[in-house]
Structure 1
Amino acid sequence: MSVLISILITFLVVVLVLWLVQRLPMEARIKQILQIVVIIIGVVSLLRYLAVF
């Protein structure tokens, strides 16, 4: 059950950070790079919770 809660919290944090990146007044290219980095970090942490790593 704690794994499911951790996955849900990670997903919510990734969505929140992606939303905040969209709200920042930055150049579009920098926003795109930040979004990719956030998604990669989110996927890696989800895989860690699923005991892949």
Structure 2
Amino acid sequence: MGASVLISILITFLVIVLILWLVQRLPIEARIRQILQIIVIVIGIVSMLKYLAIF
């Protein structure tokens, strides 16, 4: 059971990194890019906390 949680957290982390990289590549203003990055990070943290049964 612990291994499946660890794998889920790892996959979530990799998806977050991939999305952040894709947001960085978008041709948009720096302010909008920064807001998108914050949103992705917050969603990723909430998702990881869900796997740890905190939420």
State the TM bucket, normalised to the shorter chain.
over 0.9
Asked if 1:42 is matched to 2:10, the reply is no
| Percentage of pairs with the same residue | 79
Alignment deviations for residues 1-53 of structure 1 (CA, whole Å, 9 cap, x no partner): 11000000000000000000000000000000000000000000000000001
Report the AA paired with residue 21 of structure 1: V
* Structure 1 alignment gaps of length 5 or more: none
Q: TM-score, normalised by structure 2?
A: 0.95
- Runs (5+) with no aligned partner, structure 2: none
Paired residues, number? 53
Instruction: Tell me which residue corresponds to 1:29.
Output: 31
Q: Secondary structure at the match of 1:37?
A: helix
* Superposition misfits of 4+ residues, deviation over 3 angstroms: none
